A and B are shown apart, each in its own frame.
Chain A
Amino acid sequence: DTGVSQDPRHKITKRGQNVTFRCDPISEHNRLYWYRQTLGQGPEFLTYFQNEAQLEKSRLLSDRFSAERPKGSFSTLEIQRTEQGDSAMYLCASSFLDSGNTIYFGEGSWLTVV
């Protein structure tokens, strides 16, 4: 059983450019989450999906950020007009819908905005 896969693992971009990250969850996991983690901090929740429906968005998710999960499988997180403050690790996680199930994380996508 493969784990949560994220691509790319590292991205360096110039301020003002758009970037997109992809996440492939564990097979058959119907919940998918995006978190952001900056240096020295714990992960902060951004948004999550149940199948293709986006259930919740954090206040951290400004209108420059958009996430999709069109077919209820993989997800993309796009950041438009990147700013230096967007530099962080973007973590994807997935779980199976059941109150007792655990959320499993991918290795993250590091973003550096220069």
Chain B
Amino acid sequence: AQKVTQAQTEISVVEKEDVTLDCVYETRDTTYYLFWYKQPPSGELVFLIRRNSFDEQNEISGRYSWNFQKSTSSFNFTITASQVVDSAVYFCALSRSGNTPLVFGKGTRLSVIA
């Protein structure tokens, strides 16, 4: 069975601080995909990144970066110089292929205080 654990339920930081959101996954598949989604108060899940299991290269996109480590089954997400607009619930998710049903973690609520 597949499982995603986001141990941090809520995080609060002051604007401009860096923050890392943790994600640990379990799967018996050798091929799988990992995702991060952002859910602002409006409710829509906004896609942030997809990473397949064969690509362990870390990725940076502006203030966002992702650290994928197969050895520890982790796919952590770091926001550098956080802003108030980053306040949202962030979900990590796992799937067998890029578009089979996703298994989500319970999410981490990030509050960035001005």
A39 to B35 Cα, complex, angstroms: 21
Q: Mark A70-103, 1 if CB is under 8 A from B, else 0.
A: 0000000000000000000101010111111111
Q: Range of interface residues on chain A?
A: 20 to 34
A107 to B40 Cα, complex, angstroms: 10
**B99 to A97, Cβ gap below 8 A?**
yes
- Across chains A and B, the number of contacting residue pairs, with CB separation under 8 Å, is 64
A55 to chain B, nearest CB (A): 9
Q: Range of interface residues on chain B?
A: 20 to 34
Binding site for B on A (CB under 8 A): 31, 33, 40-45, 48, 56, 89, 91, 93, 95-108, 110
Query: 13 A-B pairs, CB-CB below 8 angstroms?
Result: A31-B99, A42-B107, A45-B102, A45-B103, A91-B45, A95-B98, A96-B99, A103-B99, A103-B102, A105-B37, A105-B45, A108-B43, A108-B44
